[in-house]
Structure 1
Amino acid sequence: MLKPFEVHVQASALAAFRPQLTGVEWEALQANAVQARDLMAGRTCWNVSSTARGGGVAELLPRMLAYARGAGVDTRWMVVRGTPAFFRITKRLHHALHGSRGDGSPLGAAERACYEEVLRDNAEELLVLVRPGDVVLLHDPQTAGLAPTLTAAGARVVWRCHIGSDTLDAEVARAWGFLAPDLAAARLAVFSRAAYVPPLLADRSVVIAPSIDIFAVKNQPMAPEVTRAILGHTGLVGLAPDASEPIFTRTDGVPARVSRGADIVRLGSAPAPDMPLVVQVSRWDPLKDPVGVLRGFALLLRESPGLRAELVLAGPSVTSVADDPEAAATLEAVIAAWREQPHFLRQRVHLACLPMVDPEENAAIVNALQRHAAVVVQKSLREGFGLTVTEAMWKARPVVASAVGGLLDQVRHEVDGLLVRDPGDLPALAVAVRRLLDDPVLAARLGTQAHEHVRTRFTAARHLSDLVALLQRLDARVERGAWAGHLM
């Protein structure tokens, strides 16, 4: 029998935000904390997801829950378990909601039966914990099937969809058809963009953009010499003889050392510490199009062989993310595309699987890599919301992103980054990257403006205020028995 497990999250005080906020912003955050405590008095807010590490949801939840607990709200996190067949089905749904066929496998009666069986097992354990009146946030397609059971038990169920498509095509419709019986039981649904809301949820949808935690290990300040030391010890760049110790600070304030190395496919040596790096950090997912990034960079070097730059494509260890069965195949496709390149190109492209045994160590490595990057790329074919883009923008790095999905909300073209209109346009990607490499003044201006854009729109302080408004509307809906309007 499959049973979910709990991820324990320590509370974090909201006081950390005070230096980052204006007086008015700080007062609003404190008022929201009071409202949240009042609204949830005597109740628990449960978050249910499908993995505790790897991917945007696992990045987002721990710190948001920590701040909610710091505000005095009993917030807990459960992770469902599934079989390989279940996760193949949910990955197929993930692709379909983006408007992609994925592996093209069916979403019929047999798949529906497998999906229901796995979630029925998980629901039995959750029913022991969830009490009537509790709020349950179910995250993404993997958990949507829990809604009917938990609603019947008296919980106030909200489904949080972190992905979507701006257009309703046959694949998107197929996914919504599969999920519709379960979503009928959710009181509200939350989306990252209004364009992702399907007709079946139009009368009870809420729009809340995701955020990053600016105090997390992945986003904490890091001195350049420490950045180089961490990258040198992991093998991502050459290790200088006089390198500093690769030290970072854990969430609990305790210093720690990066001890593990990255698993890297490369030809020859690591980049020199002063080599400009073009970097994409993402899951090994075909919708992130790492093969396209590689080929776009190869085009750039063929046109400008003397350009001083190298490419790092980095993602998590492929065995570390339980709900992503495509990771290994995607990495193999990237390696195959790398092998197709001529010798001089392979010497300047590095494929890195980052260690995931210690999530905070992994976060420190990603932090160092993003801070060291001359250009950060996110060439997604589809994207609900690109957390790695917002992380890089917070670090004042110049970014090049595809003009798709949530990336359109995150990056303002020519203001705080560059957008490539067609994600399949490799020459346009090459031109945008070359432009930032050639023009440090432009790169610095975009990076500075990007940092401020994130500070005002994409931090946990703003996100917490949106979640308080969600709780208010959820209670109002329960009282009225109807929903009238959207939180935009």
Structure 2
Amino acid sequence: MLKPVEIHIQAEPLTHLKSELDPNGWRDFQAHADRARALMAGRTFWNISSTSKGGGVAEMLPRMVAYARGAGVDARWLVLTGTPAFFHITKRLLHALHGSSGDGSSLGAVERATYDEVIQDNVEEFLALVKPRDVVLLHDPQTGGLGPALAAAGASVVWRCHVGCDTPNAEVARAWEFLRPDLSAARFIIFSRAAYVPPQYADRALIIQPSIDIFAVKNQPMAPEVARAILATTGLLRGGPDMPAPVFTRADGVTGRVSRCADIIRLGTGPAPDTPLIVQVSRWDPLKDAAGVLSGFALLLRHSPHLRAELVLAGPAVTSVADDPDAATTLEDVLALWRRQSHFVRQRIHLACLPMADHEENAAIVNALQRHAAVVTQKSLQEGFGLTITEAMWKARPVVASAVGGLQDQVVHMKNGLLIRNPEDRTEFAGAVRALLEAPELAALLGRRAHEHVRAHFTATRHLTDFARLVERLEEQG
């Protein structure tokens, strides 16, 4: 029997967010929180996802649940468990929703039966917890099958699709057909952008964009010398004399210390602390196109051999994310591509698997890496939203991103970053990176504008307000 796991989250007071808002904004925010607390009295707001580590959902949920609890709402987080076969199918579904064929495997009756078996094993445990009139927010295809049983038990079920495709194709249609039996129970379906909404669900669709918590460990202020110390401790930079302690502030206010090393593939030593770094942080997923970033950087070096820059491709340890079975294969493909490069290119490219045993330590390492970067990229082939680019923009980093999916909602070309029109064009990518490296004043200006854009559109206060309105919409429906 598969048993879901509850992730226990402590409340975070909403007053923590007060500095984000002007007086009128704070009053409006409090009013929405008061209304949600009254409507949710005696009820629980359940979030159900497929993993507590790795990826955007696992990044957002701890902070969103913490603030909801701080508002007086009994918000909780459950993670379903599955078999390798189940997660292979759901990864195939995620690729299909992006418009990609993934590994080309089937999504037929056999896969549906395997999916349903795992869902049924989990649902019996969920039914012991979820009560009538509770709100259940299901995240992504892994959890969709829980909807009918939880709705039949009297819960208000909402399904959130964090991915999508701007130009639907046969793969997208195949994914929606697979999910169709599950989504009939959802009172609303949440998408990150309007282009992702299929016509058959337009009458139940809501648009809620993701966000970052600017006070989270991954986004908290960090002095440059501390960032360098953290990266030296993990092995991502060469260390130097008289470096400060590699410390950060944990969510509970206690000082934490980075002590684990990254698992790094490179030739020779790490970059010097003053070497400009091109950085991409993402899952080891083919749609994130780490291989394309590597190829584009190699092209940049061939055209500009005297350019002083090195590339860091960083992702989670491949065994740490339960619902991502493709990670090891993707990393092996990137490593094989790295090995095919010349010695000159390989000695300037670093492949890093970041430690995941302590999620706050991992967040501090990512924070340090993004803050130290000269340029942060997200050259995805498809992207539901792209929280790593939001994080980098908050840190006032100049960014280069593909003009796909939700990345287009964040990066405005030549206003707060650079967009690549064709994500598969290595020449366009290399040119964009070179432009930022060779024009530091432009890079700094784009970074400052990026920071303000995130403050205006992609922080927790806006996201929490959207969910307060969702509770109000559910109440209006009765």
Counterpart residue type for residue 266 of structure 1:
R
Q: Which residue of 1 aligns with 2:299?
A: 299
CA distance in 2, matches of 1:139, 1:444: 36
Distance in 1 (alpha carbons) for counterparts of 2:28 and 2:7: 29
3-state SS of paired residue (1:361): helix
Shift of 1:36: 1.1
Amino-acid identity (%):
71
Partner SS for 1:103:
coil
User: Whole-Å Cα distance in 2 between the matches of residues 431 and 251 of structure 1?
Assistant: 39
Q: Which residue of 2 aligns with 1:484?
A: none
Amino acid aligned to 2:47? N
TM superposition shift of 1:436? 0.5
1:472-483 correspondence to structure 2 within 5 Å: 472-477=472-477, 479=478
Which residue matches 2:129? 129
Report SS of the residue matched to 2:189. Answer: strand
Residue range with higher mean Cα deviation, 434-443 or 194-203: 194-203
Report the secondary structure of 1:129's partner residue: coil
SS in 1 for 2:400: strand
Per the TM alignment, residue 199 of structure 1 is displaced from its structure 2 partner at its CA by 1.8
In structure 1, what is the Cα distance between the partners aligned to 2:376 and 2:430? Answer: 13
Q: In the TM superposition, what are the counterparts of 1:95-244 in structure 2 within 5 Å?
A: 95-244=95-244
Alignment of 1:415 with 2:415, yes or no, is: yes
CA displacement at 1:131 relative to structure 2 = 0.3
Q: Give the alignment's TM-score, normalised by structure 1.
A: 0.97
2:433 aligned partner: 433
In structure 2, distance between residues paired with 1:388 and 1:335: 22
Give the Cα–Cα distance (whole angstroms) in 2 for the partners of residues 310 and 159 of structure 1: 41
- The equivalent residue for 2:403 is 403
The 2-side partners of 1:334 and 1:114 are apart by 31
Aligned to 1:28: 28
**What is the distance in 2 between the residues matched to 1:53 and 1:355?**
11
TM-score, normalised relative to structure 2: 0.99
Matched residue of 2:350: which SS? strand
RMSD over equivalenced CA pairs, Å? 0.6
Residue 348 of structure 1: aligned partner: 348
Question: Which residue number in structure 1 is paired with residue 276 of structure 2?
Answer: 276
Secondary structure in 1 matching 2:112: helix
1-structure distance, mates of 2:235, 2:200: 49
1:463 match: 463
Q: Secondary structure at the match of 1:256?
A: strand
SS in 1 for 2:267: coil
Residue in 2 aligned with 1:43? 43
Q: Which segments of structure 1 move beyond 2 Å, counting only runs of 4 or more? A: none
The 3-state SS of whatever aligns with 1:455 is helix
SS in structure 2 at match of 1:314: strand
Deviation at 1:473, TM superposition (A): 1.1
Matched residue, 1:79? 79
**Distance in 1 between residues matched to 2:119 and 2:21, nearest whole Å:** 42
Distance in 1 between the 2:186 and 2:201 partners? 10
Q: The residue matched to 1:45 in structure 2 has which SS?
A: strand
Query: Matched residues in 1 for 2:329 and 2:394: separation?
Result: 32
Unaligned runs of 5+ in 2: none
Residues 350-373 of structure 1 deviation map (CA, whole Å, 9 limit, x = unaligned): 000000000000000000000000
Verify: 1:382 aligned to 2:382, yes or no: yes
- Distance in 1 separating the partners of 2:17 and 2:155: 32
Distance 1:21 1:185 in 2: 37
Partner Cα distance (2:351, 2:166) in 1: 31
Does 2:450 align with 1:443?
Answer: no
Question: Could you give the per-residue CA deviations for residues 30-83 of structure 1, whole angstroms, max 9, x where no partner exists?
Answer: 111101101111100000000011011000100011001111100000000000
Q: Which residue of 2 aligns with 1:256?
A: 256
Q: CA deviation at 1:26?
A: 1.2
Kindly indicate whether residue 275 of structure 2 is the aligned counterpart of residue 265 of structure 1: no
Instruction: State how far apart, in whole Å, the 2-side matches of 1:115 and 1:214 are.
Output: 37
Shift of 1:241: 2.0
CA drift of 1:20 comes to 2.2
Amino acid aligned to 2:122: N
The amino acid that maps onto 1:347 is Q
Q: CA deviation at 1:200?
A: 2.1
Cα displacement (A) at 1:471? 1.1
Structure 2: distance between partners of 1:38 and 1:452 = 33
Q: Which whole-Å CA distance do the structure 1 matches of 2:205 and 2:446 have between them?
A: 34
> Which whole-Å deviations, capped at 9, do the CAs of 1:178-228 have from their partners, x for residues lacking one?
000100111110000011011221110100000001000000000011000
Aligned letter for 1:476?
A: E
1:28 CA displacement:
1.5
Q: Distance in 1 between matches of 2:201 and 2:474?
A: 15
Q: Helix, strand or coil for the counterpart of 1:138?
A: strand
Counterpart of 2:128 in 1: which secondary structure? helix
Letter in 2 for 1:413: H
Q: Distance in 1 between matches of 2:256 and 2:427?
A: 42
Name the SS for the 2:283 alignment partner: coil
Matches within 5 A, 1:12-23: 12-23=12-23
CA distance in 1, matches of 2:204, 2:144: 15
Amino acid corresponding to residue 170 of structure 1 in structure 2:
A
1: CA distance, partners of 2:28 / 2:16:
15
Residue identity in the other structure for 1:423: P
- Equivalence for 1:370: 370
Give, in whole Å, the separation in 2 of the partners of 1:440 and 1:146.
Answer: 50
Give 2:361's aligned residue. 361
2:246 matched residue in structure 1: 246
Distance in 2 (alpha carbons) for counterparts of 1:119 and 1:261: 37
Query: 1-side partners of 2:181 and 2:17: how far apart?
Result: 41
Distance in 1 between the 2:183 and 2:202 partners?
12
Q: CA deviation at 1:177?
A: 0.2
Query: Take 2:147 and 2:269, find their aligned partners in 1: how far apart are those partners?
Result: 52
Aligned mates of 2:147, 2:17 — CA distance in 1: 34
How many residues of Structure 1 are paired with residues of Structure 2 in the alignment? 478
1:137-193, CA deviations, whole angstroms, 9 ceiling, x for partnerless residues? 000000000000000000000001000111221000000000001001111100000
**Structure 1 residue runs without a partner (length 5+):** 480-488
Tell me, in whole angstroms, the C-alpha distance in 1 between the residues paired with 2:65 and 2:118: 26
Q: Deviations over 1:243-273 (max 9, x none)?
A: 1110111000000110000000001110000
Report the residue type matching 2:271 in the other structure. Answer: P
Q: Could you tell me how far 1:87 is from its partner in structure 2?
A: 0.2
